[in-house]
Amino acid sequence: MPQIALVPRPRSVEVLDAAPFVLDQATTVVVEPRPELIQVAVLAADLLGRVGDQAVQVRYRDAGERGVVMLRIDDQLDGGDEAYRLVVRADRVDLEARSIAGLVHGIITLRQLLTTDRQRVTSAPAVRVEDAPRYAWRGLSIDVARHFFRVDDLKVVIGLMAHYKLNVLHLHLTDDQGWRLQIPSRPNLTRLSAASAVDGDPGGFYSSSDFTTLVHYAAARGVRVVPEIDVPGHVNAALHAYGELTPSGEPTDEYTGIEVGFSRLHADLPATTPFLQDVFADVAAVSPDAYIHIGGDEVLTMDPDEYAALVATASAAVRATGRQVVGWQEIAHTPLAPGTIVQFWDPRPDPAPFVAAAKAGAKFLMSPGSKAYLDMKYDRDTKLGLEWAGHIELRDSYDWEPTTVIEGLPPESVIGVEAAVWTETLRDLPELLSMLLPRLAAVAEVAWTAAELRDWDDFRARVASQSPMWERLGLAYHASPQVDWEHA
């Protein structure tokens, strides 16, 4: 029986009594000639072509030839919007899904099934896979404010996210150290506050065109981009660009350290509300996603009433654009509109306010620091990363249950899981990837796979087969001693 090492683990995999499907010159991707289907077919053909090291054509008619990879939308398929069914036989592959996103997931599953032997024959075992995700929000948050990462770097990360069926890239675009998104109504934000980064390292920013490019690239791979503008704290980059946001009227100095909690907006300054309204309107103009993240974390020097007022102002500015609000867990201490998403990261506070917020209609996105913060060191000898939330080895990022993170929280209020990586110590793509891999695959399985199907020993065996791909692509990863890794 062939080894089926899929990550994340699907709902069901049935090995069929048939010969494998061989990827060769006869392989053709077939879809109906609809623009959205053609786009995903081109993605499939490109992916299969690179795996098999040969061109794969896209066609619009199934004439029953050998080697067809048929992609089809079936809105009656059970399992929710992202459900798919993949059937691999010797002569053809049939992939059906309820949506384009489901087709992308199925293509990725087919990609993971393909292996190349010593005779350079690339094939996939005959199987039937029925699959759908546990949670609709399966994310990765990347801090590009403390250290900047180029669009090409993020494209590599998006490819990894798609490979593990993560579907939300949350970009932490602003902080004390830098402002990373062009805001036409406030040009000084990038003119004066984009060049800085932690330790005086080079900065940078995304132009409106850059951001649009990133959004389109991600969308083609089933990944949404959610922008975060962190207010009312973590705002030194804004205060450095616009002195009218400070009580003295003078801009602050550039900041390149890593301390938190010292910067803040002021509700009583006349410039504050127009600033929030204009910034979030400009963000919405380049971000088509239904959500905008307002931050809201670690405002350590502000009266609770003023904090609540500023969260309300920022939330109103987001809703005025037709978007919904996401914020870090501190916003749960303020009145929230039903449907607001609270991103939980620190399990130390009293759970009562979060339970109350859920009962009032808030939804929760789980990113517990001790499990999902992938900038934490693997162990005390890890050179990169921080350790305020402890050390997170691979099993730590796998062995947890989202519905029990907050005691008393109704399980139905949990809408997703999101890993996060902060970049105080991460300066380039290899360093970033070494902290993401292999733990990103673990968090992805927590987000995708039903709790009763998850098993550490089973995952440990399956994730071992991922390293040859990482090695072939030149992706840095941590060779966790908890896994017997395979090699290219």
Q: Determine which of 2-6, 266-270, 300-304, 309-313 has the lowest per-residue pLDDT on average.
A: 2-6
Q: Are 255 and 262 contacting, i.e. CB atoms less than 8 angstroms apart?
A: no
| pLDDT per residue as tens digits for the range 227-247 | 999 999 999 999 999 999 999
The b/e string for 154-175 (b: 16+ C-beta within 10 A; e otherwise) is bebbbbbbbbbbbbbbbbbbbb
Percent of the chain at pLDDT exceeding 90:
97
Helix (H, G, I), strand (E, B) or coil at 162: helix
DSSP 8-state class, residue 164: T
Task: Identify the CATH number of the domain in which residue 77 sits.
Answer: 3.30.379.10
User: Which residues form the domain of 106?
Assistant: 12-131
- Please name which of 137, 77, 205, 199 lies closest in space to residue 372, comparing C-alpha atoms: 137
244 and 325 share a domain?
Answer: yes
Residue 321 in any domain: the answer is yes
* Mean pLDDT value of segment 266-295: 98
144 and 94 share a domain?
Answer: no
| Beta strands, E only, 204-261 | 224-231
Task: Say if residue 350's pLDDT is above 60.
Answer: yes
- Total domain count for the chain? 2
Bond into 351 cis (ω within 30): no
Q: Are 144 and 100 contacting, i.e. CB atoms less than 8 angstroms apart?
A: no
Residue 1 in any domain: the answer is no
Residue 55 in any domain: the answer is yes
462 and 369 share a domain?
Answer: yes
127 and 142 share a domain?
Answer: no
* Mean pLDDT value of segment 118-129: 95
Q: Which pairs from 189-192 meet CB under 8 Å and 24+ separation?
A: 189/237, 189/238, 189/241, 189/242, 189/279, 191/241, 192/240, 192/241, 192/251
Mean pLDDT over all residues of the chain? 97
| pLDDT per residue as tens digits for the range 165-182 | 999 999 999 999 999 999
- Given 131, 152, 181, which residue is the final one in a domain? 131
Task: Say if residue 433's pLDDT is above 60.
Answer: yes
30 and 169 share a domain?
Answer: no
Token pair, residue 131, equals 């699959």
- Given 109, 131, 153, which residue is the final one in a domain? 131
**Rounded to an integer, what distance in angstroms lies between the CA atom of residue 324 and that of residue 225?**
14
Question: What pLDDT does 31 receive?
Answer: 97
126 and 156 share a domain?
Answer: no
231 and 98 share a domain?
Answer: no
Task: Say if residue 374's pLDDT is above 70.
Answer: yes
How far from chain centre, in Å, is Cα 471? Answer: 22
288 and 376 share a domain?
Answer: yes
Residue 22 in any domain: the answer is yes
16 and 118 share a domain?
Answer: yes
- Please name which of 309, 345, 352, 299 lies closest in space to residue 326, comparing C-alpha atoms: 345
399 and 265 share a domain?
Answer: yes
Residue 225 in any domain: the answer is yes
The catalytic position among 130, 244, 254, 298 is: 298
| pLDDT per residue as tens digits for the range 85-110 | 999 999 999 999 999 999 999 999 99
88 and 201 share a domain?
Answer: no
Residue 412 in any domain: the answer is yes
Residue 3 in any domain: the answer is no
Per-residue confidence at 2, pLDDT binned at 50, 70, 90? low
Whole-angstrom CA distances from 375 to 16, 146, 205, 371 are 41, 13, 22, 11
Q: Give all strands of the β-sheet with 122-124 in edge-to-edge order.
A: 21-23, 122-124, 115-116
Q: Which amino acid is at 32?
A: E
Per-residue confidence at 417, pLDDT binned at 50, 70, 90? very high
Task: Identify the CATH number of the domain in which residue 348 sits.
Answer: 3.20.20.80
Task: Say if residue 1's pLDDT is above 60.
Answer: no
Q: Which amino acid is at 170?
A: H
144 and 109 share a domain?
Answer: no
Task: Say if residue 11's pLDDT is above 90.
Answer: yes
Residue with structure tokens 């951001």?
Answer: 211
306 catalytic residue (yes or no) = no
Residue 459 in any domain: the answer is yes
**Residue with more model confidence, 117 or 370:** 370
- Given 131, 162, 196, which residue is the final one in a domain? 131
- Please name which of 218, 197, 211, 212 lies closest in space to residue 143, comparing C-alpha atoms: 197
Per-residue confidence at 64, pLDDT binned at 50, 70, 90? confident
